[in-house]
Amino acid sequence: MESIHPSVNEMHERVKEDGINSVLDRFDEQNSRCKFCEQGISCQLCSMGPCRITSNAQSGVCGIDAAGMVIRNLVHLNMLGTEAYTYHAIEAAKTLKATAEGKTPFEIKDKKKLIWFAEQLGIGTKGKDIKEIAVEVAEFAIRDLSSHEPSKIVKALAPEKRKEVWEELDIMPDGVFQELLTVGSSSMTNVDSDYVSLAKKAMRMGIVTCLGAQVVIETIHDILFGTPKPHDSYVDLGIIDPDYVNIAVNGHEPFVGAALIKLAEKEEIQEKAKKAGAKGLRIIGSIETGQELIQRFETEILAGLTGNWITQEYVLATGAIDVFAVDMNCTLPTLAEYQKYGVKIVPVSKLVRLKGIEEGFDYQPENVEEIAMKLIDMAVENFKERRQKIEPYVPERVQSVTAGFSTEAILEALGGGPEVLINAIKNGDIKGVVALVSCTTLRNSPHDYHTVRIAEELIKRDILVLSMGCGNAALQVAGLTSLEAIDMAGERLQEVCRALGIPPVLSFGTCTDTGRLALLVKAIADYLGVDIPQLPIAATAPEYMEQKATIDAIFAVAYGVTTHVSPIPPVTGSPEVVKLLTEDVEKLTGGKILVEEDPVKAAELIEDVIIEKRVALGI
């Protein structure tokens, strides 16, 4: 298997020559897959199994049928995604509270966002100190996420028309902890075996995951580090300069990375690196932690973003990284082997442990500056040894991008409100808007092929794309989030992009920005006075891979959005579940799953959905 990115293929060859196994090789080694697992009709929950649904066995030993087994397996994936998002949300709230109490190196950077969020949650702000408001918001968030009562955050932020639909379907959620308990307990052996019931519980969990946990995450990131604004940044492996002390931050949480940037901007830290023989010290962004940082920080200390999760072994193989600090998500189990390239792997979250790695730090808001300083000291010392023992090899390619298109930034680029976007949609200059929220996978194509191809096809059809997650990095490295990509768009979208000075693919952030995107969609729907399913929009996850992506898709369907996914999810073992997800649910929520593995055909199907919505609106 290969990548569509030349720099990744170049480093893959280096790794192979060095006799080291990497993700592209391991995929090929897996060869054939279990057909029962691919279809979702395999169960290992109890000691009477594993059970499989076959022509001779239409149910498991317990009696569960194919539909129940398939949806239960899917729900278990959903739970893991929800747990990861919720963990991040609690960490963010704890960090906000500690910052307000003066226990971190951070500050309340976006006071307006804090006051807005407090007011949305019904927290009074008049006459209160900004730090007092921050503490109340943090405590409110933790309390609501943990609540066994209906989620106040969801009630405050969800569109009114959606709430009516959800109330009727009995999928208005409690706090996310309670929904996890309900779904987990329901999906044990011999509890809830009704596939429709389990699907509805998954939607409840999806709603509070995205409108609850995810909104908390990104709103607090904005409050602490600033709401993203468009600015130039750089991506691909060529951003790494081996003559610097390089600390790469990898994962999904920006806290340690932000503390490193703050310290590295001090002259004494740069002098420390120079005394070791380096040009200075830089922070290198990797996957979603890096994405969080490049969306918000415009500083030469932050070199840019290397790419998405599949690139991390190749980043280390450059022999140009001194410390690779890994937090809560997407850290490959093989990284210890790559220390032969002179890098030191350091977990900075209690969630991450790697075989062969003994040293690490567990993030707490109160000790983040201490952790960052230790990482800097380790990196400086490591640089001395690395430069003596390792001959670095860094691909030359660097791609410029425009990052930082938050909801506020998009509306500002469009003149301060949704009117310009809506008018462009009404007159057909923008046919519709698609949210590309994706991981990256090797399951059915070379690395990032489907993501890049579908985005190219959509913008060619005058459809504006907002990119998030590892798919965002794919499009950044491919050049689609730069102004040069305007020439690849359809004529009418080109005119809009040139007039506004924006690329045809707007870099919207990470997978956790799904909740932020939901608020943008709400603003547009509220302005038009329509419900979400009526809007000429869609979502696509052209290379979904892990558990977070599955709960994002469930939320999108509950929110009323037609959502394309690829590769084919493990549900095909039950025609009933396939029909529920691709047809029947649309009659309930207005959203549905669209499955197509050919990116050109997928773009055509998405365009058809958007045209259908336009016709229904009379535009």
Tell me how crowded residue 114 is: count the other CB atoms within 10 A of its CB: 25
| pLDDT tens digits for range 551-592 | 999 999 999 999 999 999 999 999 999 999 999 999 999 999
Given a contact cutoff of 8 angstroms between Cβ atoms, the answer to whether 409 and 228 are in contact is: yes
Token couple for 125: 């702000």
**Which residues are 346's β-sheet partners?**
325
Task: Report phi then psi at 508, rounded to 5.
Answer: -95, -15
Q: Does the fold of domain 401-617 match that of domain 54-225? A: no
Single-letter residue type at 499: A
Strand, coil or helix: 106: coil
The whole-number pLDDT of residue 385 equals 96
Provide the greatest CA pair distance for the chain. 73
CA–CA separation, 474 vs 447, rounded Å? Answer: 9
Token couple for 124: 């009074």
The whole-number pLDDT of residue 146 equals 97
The whole-number pLDDT of residue 417 equals 74
Tell me how crowded residue 251 is: count the other CB atoms within 10 A of its CB: 27
| pLDDT tens digits for range 444-461 | 899 999 999 999 999 999
Tell me how crowded residue 170 is: count the other CB atoms within 10 A of its CB: 9
CA–CA separation, 32 vs 158, rounded Å? Answer: 44
Confidence of residue 282 (pLDDT cuts 50, 70, 90): very high
The whole-number pLDDT of residue 414 equals 76
Task: State the CATH architecture for 54-225.
Answer: Up-down Bundle (1.20)
Token couple for 345: 């792997």
Confidence of residue 411 (pLDDT cuts 50, 70, 90): confident
Q: What is the mean pLDDT of residues 527-535?
A: 95
Token couple for 50: 């594993």
Token couple for 161: 């028309």
| pLDDT tens digits for range 64-89 | 999 999 999 999 999 999 999 999 99
Closest CA to 602 of 464, 451, 492, 412: 451
| pLDDT tens digits for range 99-153 | 999 999 999 999 999 999 999 999 999 999 999 999 999 999 999 999 999 999 9
Residue 400 has pLDDT above 90, yes or no: yes
Structural fold of domain 401-617: Rossmann fold (3.40.50)
- Domain extent listing, the chain: 54-225, 237-389, 401-617
User: What region does 308 belong to: left with phi over 0, alpha with psi -120 to 50, or beta?
Assistant: beta
Cis peptide before 228 (omega within 30 of 0): no
Closest CA to 594 of 618, 617, 612: 612
| pLDDT tens digits for range 157-200 | 999 999 999 999 999 999 999 999 999 999 999 999 999 999 99
**Which residues are 251's β-sheet partners?**
287
The whole-number pLDDT of residue 467 equals 98
Given a contact cutoff of 8 angstroms between Cβ atoms, the answer to whether 401 and 507 are in contact is: yes
**Which residues are 272's β-sheet partners?**
none
Q: What angle do CA 259, 298, 223 make, to 5 degrees?
A: 60
CA–CA separation, 173 vs 212, rounded Å? Answer: 10
Residue 415 has pLDDT above 80, yes or no: no
User: What burial letters (b/e) apply to 492-505, b meaning 16+ CB within 10 Å?
Assistant: bbbbbbeeeebbbb
Q: What is the mean pLDDT of residues 473-478?
A: 98
Half-sphere exposure of 538 (CA within 13 A, CB side): 30
Confidence of residue 526 (pLDDT cuts 50, 70, 90): very high
Half-sphere exposure of 79 (CA within 13 A, CB side): 21
Structural fold of domain 237-389: Rossmann fold (3.40.50)
Residue 603 has pLDDT above 90, yes or no: yes
| pLDDT tens digits for range 236-269 | 999 999 999 999 999 999 999 999 999 999 999 9
The helix/strand count (H/E) of the chain reads as 26, 15
The whole-number pLDDT of residue 31 equals 84
The whole-number pLDDT of residue 413 equals 81
Q: What is the mean pLDDT of residues 215-221?
A: 98
Residue 416 has pLDDT above 80, yes or no: no
The answer to whether the pTM exceeds 0.85 is: yes
Closest CA to 453 of 564, 330, 331: 564
Tokens 């010392």 identify what position?
A: 381
Q: What is the mean pLDDT of residues 25-43?
A: 94
